[in-house]
Structure formats: structure tokens, C-alpha cells
Structure 1
Amino acid sequence: MEFDSSSLSLDCLIHIFSFLHEDELIRASGVCKVWHEAAETPWLWRQLCLQRWPFCNMARAASGGEKRAWKSYYLQRSHLEGKMETGRACADYTCKSLRGHTGHIVGFGYLVGNSVRSEEWNSTPVVCSASTDGTVRAWDVQQGVQLWASPPQSSLCDIAVDQEKRLVFTSDTAGLVKAWEGLSGREVASFPTSSSGCRLLPCGLQDQPLLAVGTNGGSLYTLSSPSLTQVSHKVMCDTFRINLLTSSPDRKWLFAGTKENADFSPQVFSSESLNSASEDDPPLCQSVPVLGCVAAAFLPSEPARVVLIHSTEDIHKKAVSVFSIHMKKSKYKEEILVEQVETFQLDAGGWYSDVLLQTRGSDTFVIAQANSLRVYTLKGVVLASFEDHTEPIAALCVDSFRVVTASRDLSLRVLTWKKDRDTGLSLQSRYHLLGGSHTMSRGFTGVACDYVSIVASVEAVNGKDALKAYSFSS
């Protein structure tokens, strides 16, 4: 007796098709009308999406009655990631030069970006940059055009972007901190400090946003955002600048320190206490028991854990330590507890303060030093090692899909994460993105990414730095 596959019930077919990959589903949909109906079931494509991108969310599209929303989402996003993995010029991406600054670019960041975790992954990216020419500028990354530029002021030293609030913050050589509306370029507020240069970081809880300001004189200010009124002030270390500032992903913790004093211990602050601080009731903080910290980063999936690179008893060697942070409350007081959960010595020599550190997930981090890139677990296991660049790596960008390194050799190296069932997580080197001519440029100085684009700053020989924008389209 010959088996008739068309006699299978729709529910039975859907169950069978749940074991297929996307290309197999597409082929199955062309067999017959019944198979087509089963293969087009939104539930199947939703399962494929969630298996590949656990944090994707199509709730709004699905509620709008679009039966093909999950399939369309999957195919477009899969096609985009394929382009990001092959990186073929013209075929996979377009490159735009963003020119307008007449000085060195001191920093930049995404004002509007596309997150790998969101269904809104195909909006137009906007980047804001600051320069020693005294201007802040906003750029449409895909079109390669300037959206607005601020009036010139004193030479700028730093820029920080609060993407959620659509705000831009700058500091200049006169010690003035300013807040700008990111979409319009309108100046919102300013705050004078006594420091000639400040490091900036948006922080604080979502309903009580703050701006942390680390000064060259060793002070840490916290200002309300965007009004820039002073909330707290703490002198952390005399004569040494605060140049290590990072906030936990949930913004509950602020980490601050200096890379210039080998005898100084960094500190962790409670964001909740920063908002209610006063002269009589200073913000709640706790020293982290390490010295000579040169890099720090919180774990994205473990927001109360911070990874540090710091000195050991042998001044020529560095160690990595992981600390867990939590609040301990009693009847009469509350305090921050900082507990070491992992530590190991880095098997490398010649480590300096310009080591680059970024984290991924709950147990992986990436270190760049000179022209070397290494991937570690929190136990100190080296998962991968690369030396793709011929000159030092100047900047590093890491997310859940890829790693991008920017080098003084005027190239970007794109690497993508792969998770194998047997071997676990690995990183694969893919391709270079070139930044132009060495006769005109001295190399890349910074890099930032969202899900559909990469932007990097190029140091120009004539002092008029530019941004290079690489856009991938589905």
C-alpha cells in the first residue's frame, strides 16, 4: 500500500516540520497545498526565530494581524547576518565617509541604533561625534550626511551618548560639561567644573538618570540628567584623573577608578544612593580589593558582576579578577559587599594601561593588547587567539553576534561568534574592512557598532579626522 503524505493531518505535518531548517521548510511549502499551509504556519517560523535569536520580540507585528510577520522577520534577519559574515564590498555593505570636522575626533556614539535583541533592528542609525574643533555633529550613517552641527566652542575632550533619552553630553578643555538634545542639536544645560578635561558616563536608574563626571583632579561628580544640577561630589584621589568609568547593564552600580595610580583601589557606588546623596549623607560606596586597575567591564547577562584587569605583586604581570556586587541590609545600616568569585594571572608580558577589555554574556570576555586579540572564559581558559592586524588595535567593539577590532594599520577586522553543540562557544575571523589610504590617514582610533552598521573614526594626516560608516542591508 502506497503512503500518501497529503493525507497527514495539518497538526501532524506542523509537528514534523518543526524539526526542519528554514531552507527545508521553504522546499516543503512547494510540495502541495496542504504542505504549503503547514510550512507557512507562523508558529513554526516563530520557533525558528526564538531558537536563533532568543531575545527577539515580534509581539507588536504579530498583534497587527500579519500572518507572515515571523517568516519575513526570520528571512530578512538571516539574510542580513549572512551579509555581515561574508563582508563583500558593494554586494554586502556600502561605505560612506562622514566629513565635516576640522580637528581630531575625540569620541562618538550611536544616538539611534539597532539592537540585536529587538524587533526594531532596521531603523536608520544616527551617530554623534565630538572634536577638538569645538563642535558636536550628528550623522545619518546610511546616507552619509550631516544632520546638525553645534556652534564652535572650546576644544572638546569627551562625548557620551544616552541612547534611551536621546541625549548627548560633552566636556571641553575649559572644564565645561554640556547636555544637548540629540535629534535637534539644541543645547539643554551646562555645568562648570574646575578641571580642564572630564570623562563622562550616563548612569543612574532609568527613572532617575544621572551623568557621572570624572575629573583630572581626581573628583567624581554626579549630575542630574539632563538639567546637569549637582547631585553629589566625592574626591576619590588627589592629582590623579578619574579615567575608569563604567556602569552595570541595569544601571544599579557605578564603577570608578584611575589607571594612573598603581596604589589606588577603585570603588563601586550604588546608583540608588547617588540620587539621594547629600553633604550629611554621602553616596554609598565600597572599595574593590585590587590595586593598579587598568580595565573594567560588567557582564551583560550578570549585571552585578564586574571583570577587572589589575596589577599583581609582580609589577610586570597582570591578573584578571571577577567580583560579585550586592547590597547587604541590616536593621541599622546598609552596605555594599564586593566578593571575589574568580581570579587568574594573564599569561602575557608587556601589559600596559591601554589594554582593551569587553565582555559577552555571563562567562566570556575579550582582551585586545598591541595587535593581539584573545577570548577568555571566567576560569582563564583561552577560547581563541588572533593576530590579524599588523599594527596595534586601537579600539574594540563586542556584542552577542560579532567582534570588531579597529587598528592603526587602517583596517577593521570582523569576527563572528559561533556556538557549537560539542565544542561550545568560539570566535571565527571573517574579513577586513579597509579605511582608506595610508598617505592620507594614520589609522583607526575608535569603533562602534549596532546590529546593521559599523562606524569607525580615522585619524587624518592633515588633522581633519573623519568617520567611516559601513552599512549592511537586508
Structure 2
Amino acid sequence: MEFDVSNLSLDCLIHIFSFLHEDDLIIASGVCKFWNEAAETPWLWRQMCLQRWTFCNVAWSECGKATWKSYYLQRTQLERRMETGRSGADYTCRSLRGHTGSIVGLVYLVGNSDTADIWNATPVICSASTDGTVRAWNTQQGVQLWATPIQRPLCDITVDPELGLLFTSDSEGKLSAWEGLTGQEVASFLTTSSGCKLLAYSVEDQSVLMAGTSRGSLYTLTSPSLSQVSHQVVFDTFKIDLLISSADRKLLFAATKEGSDMSPKIFSSESLICPSEDGSALYQSVAVSGCCAAAFLPTEPSRMVLIHDSEDWQNSALSVFDISMKKSKYQVDIIVQQVESFQLGIRGRHSEVLLQTRGNDTLVVAMANTLRVYTLKGVMLTSFEDHTQPITALCVDSFRVVTASRDLSLRVLTWKKERDTGLTLQSKFHLLGGSHSMSRGFTKVACDYVSIVASLQSVDGKDVLKAYSFNS
């Protein structure tokens, strides 16, 4: 007996169409008016969006500017262009010139995440330099928006995107807060040591700036006024090199690479922001030495990963720790428990090892010119040696991994879920940075969902930014 699709209800047809690929769904929409009505159903395209990306910000589409269908098709097209990386067809590259010194840091003041409106926001990158200036750039147009007056050489930069503020530290210990829209200085604070490591974030409606000094002190300052809230001596005379917060901002990790026998420390953020009467903070030391890299897991804020010296001092180890709070009648203690540990096969100490994490169980490690992906159990999922010189910077998000190297190239790799093997990383293409006669390679990289920006160390000392914007 011949099956008559006209007897199907609209709801039944929509359910059948929910199993189709986007291309098949578009073909089905042209069969007849009834199929077109089913194929254009917003619920159907909304389900496809959420199944593919989990998080979608389409509030803008409800204002009549677009539909779930157009969102899906545009975002899919953007990802295809990020996977193929054809110069001119898929992206445009612009050189951002203006600094007369080395670039020490770059951050997105305005960026497009995979949960944001990726078509209406224009990415703005800010860079800090030893020439004493901060500069803001429109990455799509390749133009400078503003530059701060020349001051002492800068050492670090960080951003609070919620407040639209930038923070810098200079060579003589001055911390400054800058208005992101104009580049105007709004506050400053003078520490007693140079080269502070900075971290800005908001927790429980309080915005703060953390500053780790070259003499081992940790300052907690209000934002944006930069008034001192607390001051802790973390490592006596040793520089704080690593300053990282958990995703929920409840924990703060501090470590030094200078003292091989100095154990890293994990602080309660609340005890730093709201110090006790005696000024002491709640913290716990981590029982490892020679820590050279660390990261919290994005979706497991109470779990972190460290790369450190192993017991025989001949190899580096990677260890996973669970962190919890134990409350008793009279006090609260931080409990740090090691749950996994394995050898990385790195001989001796390597301070330039890079570590980032994805989700709740994936680790990305870069050392020399090699990129590796591990599980928390120490299973190496894949390894790449696409670069011919050391990897200097690493950027990881839910869609891709970008590596920057001294070989004057950026390597773009994308995540993919396989039915049998699970999550894998696939190497896609290179983005080239220029000539070795003019540059010594890439030193830093940052990326959002539609652009990649990296700094080139120039032979003449005037570093340049390369901005790659992908076409949607």
C-alpha cells in the first residue's frame, strides 16, 4: 500500500524532520507548501541550534532581525570558514601598528563568545607595551581607537569586561585603572615592587583587582577605585608568576616559578575580599614543588590541574587536585586532595610549558613545538608537531585551539566529537605572520568566536599585532 504523506499531521511531520540534516531540511522545504510550513517551524531550528551548540544567544532574533533558521545557517557557515581558513575567502588579516616597544599583553575588551550575539558586536582588543602605552583596536577595521599617554614601561594588562575597565602594572610598581571606552585613567595604586601579575574579576557583586608582586606579596584592591582591601605575604622575596581564579571565583591560586621548593597556595577569595580582624586570609598549601603551569577546570570549579617537578626531579608530572571547604564549629579549612597524577615525559624543569583545560576532563599541554591532549587519567588522546619552533602561547575554547609559535605561524585546530572515540582535536590550517627578516615570531595570542589576534616580536623592537577576522 502506498504511503500518503498528506495524511500526516503537521506535528508528526515536524518530528520526522527533526532527524534531518540542515541540507536535507532545506530541500524538504521546497517540496510543497505543507512541507515548507513544517521545515520553517522555529521550534525545529531552535532544537537544531541547541543540539549543536548547547548555548545560543538569539534574543536578538526575537526582535525581528533574524530567525532561528538564519542563526543556525549563519553560525554553521562561520564555523565552516574557521575550519577551512582560506585567506581572503574565509578571513581577512590586518596588521595593527602603533606600538614603539615590545607588547607585554593583549586582552579583549569587547569580544564575541560562542554564547554571544556574534554578528552585532565588534571585537575590540587592547594591548600593553614597554613603550608605556595601552592601545585599543577595532580588529575588523584594523584601526586604533585610542592610546593612553606615554608612561613608564608596562609589564602586564588585564580586563574586567563587565565593568569595561582595563588594569595595568608598570616597571616601578604602579597599578592603573583605565576606562575602556576612552582610555582615560580613572585610578592608580602604588606598590613597593615592579612587575605585578594582575587578575581582575567580580564575585558576589564585588569587583576586585588582585596583584601579585615580584616580592611575593598579594594585594586585593577595590575596582575601579583601587583602594587596598587586604595585603598578604605569600612567598617571601619570590615573584608571584601564576595568579588564577576558579570559574566560580571562589578560589584563587598563586604560585612562583623562582623558588623550586616553594609550594603553591590556594586562597579563599572571600577571605581576601572580606579579611578577618587580624588581616589573615584562609589558604592551604599544595604539596608539590617546582610548579610551572596551572589551570582550573571550566565546568568543575573546585578541581584544578598543576604541572610540577616529580619526586625524582628528572621528569615533570601533571597532578589533579580536588578542593573543598571543611567547616567546623570554630573554623573553616581548605582541603586539597590529589586525585590523579601522571608523568609528562619532560626531562628536567621547563618553565615554558603551557597548560589549558576544556570542559570537565580534557587537558591541553604545549611544550617545545609539541601540542598534546590528555584526559584527567593521563591518557594521551592525540599529539601534534605542526610547528617547527617552540609554541609560545595557547588559546583554548569550546570550538578550537589556537597555538602561536616562534616559527611565525598560528596553528588552528578544532574539536570534534566522534561516536566511538569521543572528543578529539583535529589540526586544520596555519595562519602566517610575515617574514623572518622582519620578525622573531609570535609571542602572544588571544581569540574570541570570530577573530584571532596575536603579537609579533619585531626585529626593530616595534611589535605588531596581527588580527584575523573570520567572515560570517
Is TM more than 0.5 here?
Answer: yes
2:412 matched to which residue of 1? Answer: 414
Alignment partners' CA distance in 1, 2:29 and 2:201: 50
Alignment partners' CA distance in 2, 1:32 and 1:343: 60
Q: Map 1:179-258 to 2 at 5 A.
A: 179-258=177-256
- Deviations along 1:258-300, whole A, 9 cap, x unmatched? 0111111111111112111156142211111211111010101
Alignment partners' CA distance in 2, 1:53 and 1:3: 35
Q: Contact conserved, 2:395 with 2:401, CA < 8 A, in 1? A: yes
Q: Contact conserved, 2:252 with 2:267, CA < 8 A, in 1? A: yes
2:444 matched to which residue of 1? Answer: 446
Match of 2:365 among 361, 367, 372: 367
Q: Map 1:144-155 to 2 at 5 A.
A: 144-155=142-153
Alignment partners' CA distance in 2, 1:351 and 1:469: 33
Alignment partners' CA distance in 1, 2:274 and 2:74: 47
- Deviations along 1:351-410, whole A, 9 cap, x unmatched? 411100000000001110110000000000001100000110010000010000000000
Q: Contact conserved, 1:257 with 1:266, CA < 8 A, in 2? A: yes
The number of aligned residues is: 472
Alignment partners' CA distance in 2, 1:122 and 1:453: 14
- 2:298 aligned with 1:290: no
Q: Contact conserved, 1:453 with 1:471, CA < 8 A, in 2? A: yes
- 2:24 aligned with 1:24: yes
Q: CA deviation at 1:165?
A: 1.7
1:434 matched to which residue of 2? Answer: 432
CA-atom RMSD in angstroms: 1.4
Q: Map 1:35-434 to 2 at 5 A.
A: 35-59=35-59, 61-62=61-62, 64=63, 69-120=67-118, 122-278=120-276, 280-434=278-432
- Deviations along 1:26-58, whole A, 9 cap, x unmatched? 000000000000000011101110111012232
Q: Contact conserved, 2:363 with 2:373, CA < 8 A, in 1? A: yes
Q: CA deviation at 1:117?
A: 2.4
**Partner secondary structure for residue 339 of structure 2:** strand
**Partner secondary structure for residue 174 of structure 1:** coil
- Deviations along 1:297-325, whole A, 9 cap, x unmatched? 01011111111001112212111111111
Counterpart residue identity of residue 4, structure 2: D
**Partner secondary structure for residue 150 of structure 2:** coil
Alignment partners' CA distance in 1, 2:30 and 2:448: 36
**Partner secondary structure for residue 348 of structure 1:** strand
Alignment partners' CA distance in 2, 1:227 and 1:4: 71
Counterpart residue identity of residue 33, structure 2: K
Q: Contact conserved, 2:309 with 2:349, CA < 8 A, in 1? A: no
Provide closer, same or farther for how the CA distance between residues 118 and 368 of structure 1 changes in structure 2, counting only shifts above 3 A.
same
Q: CA deviation at 1:235?
A: 1.0
Q: CA deviation at 1:65?
A: 5.9
Counterpart residue identity of residue 32, structure 1: C
Alignment partners' CA distance in 1, 2:340 and 2:120: 39
Q: CA deviation at 1:348?
A: 3.2
Q: CA deviation at 1:350?
A: 4.5
2:10 matched to which residue of 1? Answer: 10
- Deviations along 1:97-141, whole A, 9 cap, x unmatched? 000000010111000001112345651000010001000000001
Q: CA deviation at 1:343?
A: 1.3
Unaligned residue ranges in structure 2 (runs of 5+): none
Alignment partners' CA distance in 2, 1:123 and 1:174: 36
How many percent of aligned residue pairs carry the same amino acid?
71
Alignment partners' CA distance in 1, 2:439 and 2:393: 16
Q: Contact conserved, 2:199 with 2:243, CA < 8 A, in 1? A: yes
Counterpart residue identity of residue 331, structure 1: K
**Partner secondary structure for residue 159 of structure 1:** strand
Q: CA deviation at 1:183?
A: 1.3
Provide closer, same or farther for how the CA distance between residues 65 and 460 of structure 1 changes in structure 2, counting only shifts above 3 A.
closer
**Partner secondary structure for residue 148 of structure 1:** strand
Q: TM-score of the superposition, structure 1-length normalised?
A: 0.97
Alignment partners' CA distance in 2, 1:59 and 1:437: 44
Which sits farther off after the overlay, 125-134 or 318-327? 318-327
Q: Contact conserved, 1:121 with 1:451, CA < 8 A, in 2? A: no
